Chains A and B, each alone.
Chain A
Amino acid sequence: MKVSEIVEKLDLKVFSGQKGLDREISGGYVSDLLSDVMGNAQEGEVWITLQVHQNVMAIASLKDLAAVILVNSLEPHENTVRHSDDENIPVLGTNLSTFEIAGKLYQLFNQ
């Protein structure tokens, strides 16, 4: 499944990193603790979080994540957007809570 497919099916907003929309997704990871993501997320996963600062992109890039989904209508900081465009890792957004979007992504992934 590609990032563009979850954007369409989960009605996600694309803030940045459009060039990475054809990245292949291997799964998902949910956490707001950066060291947890650093230690435990796997390559190709979509990271669901409420953190919006640019260190999110540093981690997404170092871990080769497929995309980041910001929850609760949160918006990325300006330098997060820039970093996302540089790395071609999309930052996406939803007005749903972490619980809801994680549930939907899990369901979509296990269809």
Chain B
Amino acid sequence: MKLTFTIQGGDFTNAGHPSSEVKKVLKQLVIDGKTIKNIVIALYEAEVNVVAHAWKGTVTVEIDEKKITMLVEDEGPGIPDIALAMQAGYSTASKKVREMGFGAGMGLPNIKKNTDELFIESEVDKGTKVKMINYF
């Protein structure tokens, strides 16, 4: 099964839509509750990263019998230093985004904690690809 979604940078009104849809699908497939929770946390954080930092993005989710693969690709400023971005508490979020309660530097650490496999590729001024895999 394959699901695709688009995300608009700066559009916080729809942040959480892809993760909400994926959650519904996984519930129907009778996936273990803890696994669904992990997947939803990781995907939501990746979506918010696109909304908060990038210009636009796409979410592609593939589900088979054994695993879920979530690819979040954006056109945006990219991440100059991925190791630094992975550090808890490090954030480049704007003041507006922080006032909403985002941008605490917890997004990527949350993704790391809740995925079985995580791959991040980024090019400055081009964009970022985040691939997350969770096994059922």
**A interface with B by C-beta (< 8 Å):** 32-36, 38-39, 43, 49, 51, 53-55, 58-59, 61-63, 79
| Size of B's binding interface in residues, CB under 8 A | 22
CA distance A52 to B13 in the complex (A): 13
Shortest Cβ gap from B28 to chain A (Å): 16
Which residues of chain B are within 8 angstroms of A33 by Cβ–Cβ distance? Answer: 101, 104, 106
Contact yes or no, B100 A62, CB < 8 A? no
Given A38-B45, A39-B41, A62–B101 Cβ distance below 8 Å?
Answer: no
Q: At the interface, is chain A mostly helix, strand, loop or mixed?
A: helix
Smallest Cβ-Cβ distance to A51: which chain B residue: B101
**B interface with A by C-beta (< 8 Å):** 12-13, 15-16, 19-20, 23, 37, 40-41, 44-45, 48, 100-102, 104, 106-107, 110, 113-114
The 7 closest A-B pairs by CB, nearest first: A58-B16, A35-B106, A34-B101, A33-B104, A39-B110, A51-B101, A62-B40
Contact yes or no, B102 A61, CB < 8 A? no
Say which residue of B12, B19, B107, B113 sits within 8 Å of A62 (CB atoms). Answer: B19
Contact yes or no, B20 A55, CB < 8 A? no
Shortest Cβ gap from B57 to chain A (Å): 17
Smallest Cβ-Cβ distance to B91: which chain A residue: A35
